[in-house]
Amino acid sequence: MKRIQGVYSAPRGHWVGDGFPVRSLFTYDRMGAEHITPFLLLDHAGPFDFTPATRPRGVGAHPHRGFETVTLVYEGELEHRDSTGSGGRIGEGDVQWMTAGAGIVHEEFHSRAFTERGGTLEMVQLWVNLPARDKSAPAAYQTLLDAEIPSVPTDGSAGRVRVVAGDYRGSQGPASTFTPINMWDVRLKAGGDAALAVPDGHTTLLVVLRGTVLVNGDEIVRDGSVVCFERYGDELHVAANSDAKLLLLSGEPINEPVVGHGPFVMNSLQEIHHAVTDFQRGKYGVLND
């Protein structure tokens, strides 16, 4: 059994652009990069009800370098485009896995259809670090549609696990990752309980997005909280006091320095200076009108 190292509550929320009211459930500067590696940050946006509008809300052009962003949509619909010429739309249950790598400029807005009709938006965005050898990887996208993501019943039919990345009970998620990672979208029914097997040695985080759960038989955890586990051990136990929406993250630690500055995450301050200079010189490309 993986022992609980700590339980962390989210700070007050803030807006990202005009389209994403978020709580940062964990960040590498608040919890310590060495404790949550290979993960860096998790923002939970919503659920928030938007009224119909004529202009899409969201975040305009901005850069990233040195890591990956993973956006999972629970409700609503997003559109994105970037300096590689790529773009797309993701809706309920879909995932966008973006490798910033050597540098990218992109924008994210509510889709035109969602903007016009309004409705509830809920999503999470996870930042995953890249090891030094891969921080210069070409920018790229993986669009993982809901239909492509395996949905596997937990033991005892307590709920289901959607396997975005990694492996759960023999079902492999569609995401391609640079280092070993599990990302599971977990739903438990009220009164249900499940034993979740995770690799010994992995950093493991359990994010409670909705509901109240009992973890390992002795820790009550409510929505908006993150449970961080010790690395040894290969299982954790979750019992749901109410219908629960959870995110289980586990990953092989990257034992390298983490130096971040806004949308850039590198291994040294000198590399951060280079990342900023490269962006200022237009080396990440630009968005075409």
Listing DSSP states for 12-74 in one string gives: --EEETTTEEEEEEEEHHHHTHHHHTTEEEEEEEEEEEEPP-SS--EEEEEEEBSEEEEEEEE
> What pLDDT is recorded for position 135?
98
DSSP reduced 3-state for 244: strand
Task: Say how many C-beta atoms besides its own lie within 10 A of residue 36's C-beta.
Answer: 26
Average pLDDT score over the chain: 96
Q: Please identify every stretch of the chain with a pLDDT value under 50, giving residue numbers as ranges.
A: none
> What pLDDT is recorded for position 86?
85
> What pLDDT is recorded for position 155?
82
pLDDT tens-place string over residues 248-285: 999 999 999 999 999 999 999 999 999 999 999 999 99
Pull the structure tokens for residue 230.
């010790």
How many CA atoms are closer than 13 Å to the CA of 278, on its beta-carbon side? 20
Which residues does 156 contact at the CB level (< 8 Å), separation at least 6?
192, 193, 194
> What pLDDT is recorded for position 289?
65
Which residues does 32 contact at the CB level (< 8 Å), separation at least 6?
none
DSSP 276: H
Q: pTM for the full model? A: 0.96
**Hey, CA dihedral for 114, 128, 100, 279, is it positive or negative?**
positive
CA distance 157 to 166: 21
> What pLDDT is recorded for position 287?
82
> What pLDDT is recorded for position 157?
78
Report residue 29: phi and psi, to 5°: -80, -30
